Structure 1
Amino acid sequence: MTAAPELHPLGALMRRFAVDWLDRADPAVPAEIMAPDYTIVIGAYTMRGRDDYVEATSGQLARFPGLTITVHDALYTPDGRVALRFTEHGASARGGAAAWRGIGLFTARDGVLVHNACEEDYLGRRRQLHGGAPDPVDPPMVAPWTEPVAGPDPGAEEAVRSWLAAGRVTGPLPGVVADDGRGADPVLDDVTCEVTALFAAGRRVAFHAVAHGRYAGGLPDAPGATGTPVALGIAGLVEPGADGTVTGHVVRDRLGLHRTLERAR
C-alpha cells in the first residue's frame, strides 16, 4: 500500500502564502506567516521589513483584483528552503488581463518566512496588457503542498554553479524555458554571474543570480543601446543532466533591463 502523503510544515506554510495571502488577499495573513524583518529581493529592488512588503504587494493586489497564483513546481529542503515556480494571473483594474511567470526562492526559520529572492516577468505582463490578450496559464502542479522534502545532490549544485559561471543565462537557452517562452531574449557580452542564492532538493536546483555585462541586443524597442553596462536579475528552477546539459525554467528581469536601456538612451 502506498503511504499517505504528508503535509510538511513547509508545504503548509507555502499554502498559506499562496492561497490565504495572494489568492484571498487576506491582510491578516502576512503577520502570521512572515517575520517582522521579512525581506524580498526582486529585480533591482530590495524591500526590508514585512510592513513595506505588504504595502507594496497590496498595491499590486488592488491593481489586479481577484489575482490568482498557480503553482507549477515546488521543492523543499530539510534546512527550510523553498522554491516555487508559478504564474500570477488576473484582470487589471486599468483594463486588460495578463498571466505572468515567476520563480521565488524562500527561506523559512522558526515556522515563518524570513526571505524571498524572486523574479517575475513583468515585461511579459506589459506586452499582454498593451496587446489586449492574455497568455494561457500552464497546467498546475498536482500536489505542490505535499511535495516531499529532499536533501541536496552536491554534484547537481556544482553543475549549475558551473553553468552560471560560464555566462549561459542570457540569449536563447537550449533546453530551458525562459520568461514567457516567446523570445525577446536579452543578450549580454562579457558576462559575469553573481550567484545570490542556490540550493537543491535531489538533482533539482533553484537559484537566484545577477548577470553583469554589456547589452548586445535582443529586446524590442531598445535600439541604439548596445554596449551599455547592465545588470540582469535571474531566478531559475533547473536540473543538470549527466551530459552537462541543463533543463528547466528561468525568469529574468527583462523589464528592469529595458528600463535601464531606456534611461541610457
Structure 2
Amino acid sequence: MSNLVTRRDRLNWQRDLHTLYALRLARILRDPVRTPRSVYWVDPTTDLQTQIDHHASQHEGGLFISQKFPEWSRTTPRIKATYGTVALGQTSVPRFMTVRLGPNRIERARKDPRSFLRSVKREMDAKLYRRLDRKLDYWFIVETSVTSNPWGGRTKVTDPHIHGVIGAASAELEAVEEALRSLSGDYGDDRPTEKGRKIAKRLAVELQPITNSLALAGYVTKDPRFAAMCVHGNNFTQTRNLNAIGKANYEFHTKLFGACKSAMTEYSINHNSTLSSH
C-alpha cells in the first residue's frame, strides 16, 4: 500500500484479511465457482438458528483459529467485495469487469459536487437500465495507483479506472459491454493514429469469466485508501441488494464459525474422555 495510507487503514486491512483466512481455514467461506454444491449460504425461507445447528452438526471439520469478527458496517472493501462476488456466483454468471475512463469523463466526475464515485455509479445505473430494462447487481472500485521507475525518475499516478464484478445472463453480455463502453467516454481518442484509437476503444472495456472468487477482491482492493484520496472520497460501491445479501451471509458465516468451533471442541472433549476411560 501507499505510504499515504494511515496505520489504522493498514490495521483494518490486515484484520479483514485475517477474518477471511479464518473463515476459509474453517471451511465455511467457500468458492462457488470451485465448490458449487457445498457452499454455505443462508436460506431466507428457513429459520437462521435451525440452519446453523444443521450445518454445525454436518460440518466435516476445519482449522478454527481464534478470531474476533468485525461488524459488517466496519469491514473494509476487501470483505464486502469478497462476499459480493460469492453472492453473484450464487445467483448469476459473474464477470470481472474493467472500465478505463477517458480524460473528459474523469474530469466530469471530479467536478461532480456529489463525488467522483456517485457520478460514475449513477451514469452506469442509467446506461445499464436503458439497455436491459432491469437493474443488475454489481460492485466496483475506482482504482488509481502509484508506479515508480526502479531506475529512478518520476513517479507516475495512473488515471482512475474501474475494476469490479457484475452479474448478468450470457445473453445480456453484449448489451452490458455496450453500456460500459459508453461509460468510458472518450477513452482512446487521444491516440495519434487511427489504429491506436481502435485498439484503445477495444481495450476500454473488458468482461472476463471469474476463476477464483475469493482471490479476486484481494487483487482489486490492493490500494484502496490512496485511490480514495485521489478521487476525493469513497471509492467502493455495490448495489443495495448485493450489500444486503453479503451482510446476511457474512453474519451467517460468523455465527456458523462459532457453532462449528463449539461442536468440535465438545467432540474433542468427549473423545478424549472416552480414550482416558479405557
Higher helix residue share: 2
| Structure 2 length-normalised TM | 0.28
Higher strand share: 1
Q: Point out which structure has higher relative CO (alpha carbons under 8 A, 6+ apart).
A: 2
After TM superposition, the score normalised by the length of structure 1 is 0.29
Larger Rg: 2
